Amino acid sequence: MVVSLFGTTSIVTFISLLIFSFIPKLPLANDDIVSSLQSAIGSIGGIKQYLAIEEVMYCEFRFGDAESNLKLAITNYQNGHFKDVINQIDEALKSIKSCQDTSDAQGYIARSVAQDMDNVVLLINKIKKQVLGSALSPQIYH
C-alpha cells in the first residue's frame, strides 16, 4: 500500500511539475481572461488532488474556496462586474496564501507542489492585472 501511495504521489507531482512550470509564461489577452481563469481553476484542482492524497485537509478546503471564488469571478467577468472580479480574485489569493503560510502544511507539501502553488499565484496575479487594465481602459463603441 505504501508503494502504491508513493507511486500515485510521484505521478501527481511529476504531472503537476510538467504542467505548472509553463503557466507563468503564458501571455494573456483580454479575450483570454475567462480561459486563463479556467486554467487557474484546473491547476488548483490538480493541486487539490495532491493535497487530498497527502491528507492536508486545511489546504484542500482552502483551495476549494479559491476554486469557488475563481468560478464566481468568471461569472462576474462575463457580466462586466470588474470590481467583483477583482474581489473574487483577491479572495482566491487569500485562500491560497493562508495554505502556504500554514506551518502544519509546509512539512507535508512537496517542494514541487509548493512551486506549483507559487505558479498559480503568479498566473492569478497576471489575470488580476489584465482585469484591472480592462476595467480602466476606455470602452470604444461603434
Residue 140 DSSP symbol: P
Q: What is the pLDDT of residue 120?
A: 95
**Segment 81-105, tens digit of pLDDT:** 999 999 999 999 999 999 888 766 6
Could you tell me the CA-to-CA distances from 93 to 5, 53, 124, 142 in Å, in that order?
30, 23, 8, 37
Q: Does residue 140 fall inside a structural domain?
A: no
Q: Does residue 29 fall inside a structural domain?
A: yes
Q: What is the pLDDT of residue 24?
A: 47
Looking at per-residue confidence, does 4 or 45 come out higher? 45
Q: Does residue 139 fall inside a structural domain?
A: no
Q: What is the pLDDT of residue 101?
A: 85
Q: How many domains does the chain have?
A: 1
**C-alpha cell, 61:** 478546503
The enclosing domain of 117 has a CATH number of 1.20.140
Q: What is the pLDDT of residue 83?
A: 93
106-133 average pLDDT score: 87
Q: Does residue 101 fall inside a structural domain?
A: yes
**Segment 46-58, tens digit of pLDDT:** 999 888 887 788 8
Say how far apart CA 109 and CA 59 lie, in whole Å. Answer: 10
Q: Does residue 8 fall inside a structural domain?
A: yes
**Segment 4-41, tens digit of pLDDT:** 444 455 555 555 554 555 444 444 555 689 999 999 99
Q: Does residue 111 fall inside a structural domain?
A: yes
Using an 8 Å Cβ cutoff, are 89 and 130 in contact? Answer: no
Say how far apart CA 125 and CA 57 lie, in whole Å. Answer: 25
Q: Does residue 67 fall inside a structural domain?
A: yes
Say how far apart CA 15 and CA 4 lie, in whole Å. Answer: 16
- Domain extent at residue 16: 2-134
Looking at per-residue confidence, does 3 or 114 come out higher? 114
